[in-house]
């Protein structure tokens, strides 16, 4: 795979609405149809409920071998409007895949923005952090794993998309800045159905950190609350 080159970016406001941000990060501004055209990889980093509002024909002319990466997390009641299927147990990215009508790979969701922006390291660096990647299509998952690697993180294969509940909010692997070995153990230690209860306590737990917690504060809290030890490691 060629080195990562993120070209166009889009938001919900059309070309003019995204232009300032595109200029800031040095890429081209497009609308949502333009951003999915003529590309090898599409990264969806929009609020999960907004998937419902994407144009119904958005992927009609996108070839099936284009990899679609879903970075979503679901925070009902805090940030996101409720999604009954997910509340009933459907994996977040399985729901996203159904909204889009095509397969997705779940990646980049279990790292905080600060981690993604600041803590990447070249391949082979001791202590390099890991990111989980789940999905069904072998080639697309390989592409997503290579992208994770090129962005500075060790990709950890987290299994099929239906296993991706293991990397959702408040699971042991979620936003704890772990290296690959610990990430694998954390994914394996997740208990079905345990995370939503912890996730729903997040506003209270964040309030306890004060008004301006550091990245390290948040990671320490996540490691404690989502503890791999608690979940039978
Ligand atoms: N931030 C993090 O630390 C982080 C880390 C890992 C994963 N994630 C996950 O990634 C997803 C996005 O998070 P975020 O923090 O980046 O959210 P965000 O800042 O609220 O939204 C990201 C982008 O989505 C665009 N957007 C919203 N609705 C849209 C639509 N209908 N069509 C096209 N673009 C739309 C927004 O622009 P406009 O509203 O102007 O259109 C914005 O540019 C969430 O599920 C989040 O949990 C976030």
**What's the pLDDT at 2?**
62
Distance 174 CA to ligand 1 centre (A): 18
Strands 130-134 and 105-107: antiparallel
7 lies in some domain: no
CA of 45 to the centre of ligand 1 (A): 5
Q: Which atom of ligand 1 is nearest to the CA of 46?
A: 24
Atom 6 (ligand 1) nearest CA: 109
Give residue 113's domain range.
40-165
If you count DSSP H runs as helices and E runs as strands, how many of each does the chain have, helices first? 10, 7
3-state secondary structure of 131: strand
Whether 145 is in a domain gets the answer yes
Percent of the chain with pLDDT over 70: 95
Probe target for ligand 1 pocket from 6, 18, 46, with the most ligand atoms within 8 Å of CB: 46
Percent of the chain clearing pLDDT 90 (strictly above): 93
> Which atom of ligand 1 lies at the shortest distance from residue 108's CA?
6
Least confident of 98-112, 126-140, 175-189, 199-213: 199-213
Using pLDDT thresholds of 50, 70 and 90, give the confidence band for residue 3: low
Residue 222 in domain: no
Distance from C-alpha of 19 to C-alpha of 41, rounded to nearest angstrom: 21
Name the pLDDT band for 231 (thresholds 50, 70, 90). Answer: very low
Our count of domains for the chain comes to: 1
- Can you give the pLDDT at residue 41? 96
- CA distance linking residue 18 with residue 14, whole number of Å: 7
Distance from C-alpha of 57 to C-alpha of 171, rounded to nearest angstrom: 34
- Res. 227 pLDDT band, cuts 50 70 90: confident
Half-sphere exposure for 25 (CA within 13 Å, toward CB): 14
Nearest residue to 116 (alpha-carbon basis) of 205, 43, 57: 43
For every residue of 148-205, DSSP letters joined together read: HHHTTSEEEE--SGGGGGGGSTTSTTTTS--BHHHHHHHHHH--TT-HHHHHTTHHHH
CA gap 229, 233 in Å, rounded: 5
Query: Is residue 232 over pLDDT 70?
Result: no
Q: Which helix (H) or strand (E) holds 36?
A: helix 32-36
Ligand 1 neighbours (beta carbon < 6 A): 11-13, 32, 45-48, 50, 53, 71-73, 108-109, 111-113
Full-model pTM: 0.95
Residue 99 lies in a domain: yes
Q: What is the CATH number of the domain that holds 84?
A: 3.40.50.720
**How far apart (Å, rounded) are the C-alpha atoms in residues 216 and 115?**
10
Q: Is residue 46 part of a domain?
A: yes
SS3 content of the chain, % helix, strand, coil (to 5): 40, 10, 45
| Cα distance between residue 102 and residue 96, in whole Å | 9
* pLDDT, tens digit, 9 for 90 and up, residues 5-56: 768 999 999 999 999 999 999 999 999 999 999 999 999 999 999 999 999 9
The verdict on residue 27 lying in a domain is no
Answer yes or no: is 76 within a domain. Answer: yes
């Amino acid at each position: 795979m060629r080195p990562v080159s993120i070209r166009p970016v889009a938001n919900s406001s059309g070309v003019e609405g995204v232009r300032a941000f595109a200029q800031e990060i040095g890429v081209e501004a497009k609308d949502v149809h333009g951003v999915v055209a003529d590309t090898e990889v599409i990264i969806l980093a929009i609020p999960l409920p907004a998937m419902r509002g994407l144009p119904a024909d958005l992927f009609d002319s996108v070839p099936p071998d284009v990899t679609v990466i879903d970075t979503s997390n679901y925070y009902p009641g805090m940030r996101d409007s409720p999604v009954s299927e997910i509340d009933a147990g459907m994996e977040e990215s399985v729901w996203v895949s159904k909204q889009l009508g095509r397969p997705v790979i779940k990646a980049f969701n279990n790292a905080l923005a600060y981690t993604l922006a600041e803590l990447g390291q070249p391949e082979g660096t001791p202590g390099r952090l890991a990111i989980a990647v789940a999905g069904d299509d072998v080639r697309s998952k390989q592409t997503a794993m290579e992208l994770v690697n090129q962005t500075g993180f060790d990709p950890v294969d987290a299994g099929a998309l239906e296993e991706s509940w293991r990397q959702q909010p408040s699971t042991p692997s979620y936003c704890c800045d772990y290296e690959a070995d610990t990430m694998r153990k954390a994914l394996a230690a997740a208990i079905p159905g345990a995370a939503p209860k912890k996730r729903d306590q997040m506003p209270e737990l964040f309030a306890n950190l004060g008004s301006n917690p550091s990245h390290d504060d948040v990671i320490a809290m996540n490691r404690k609350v989502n503890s791999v030890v608690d979940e039978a490691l």
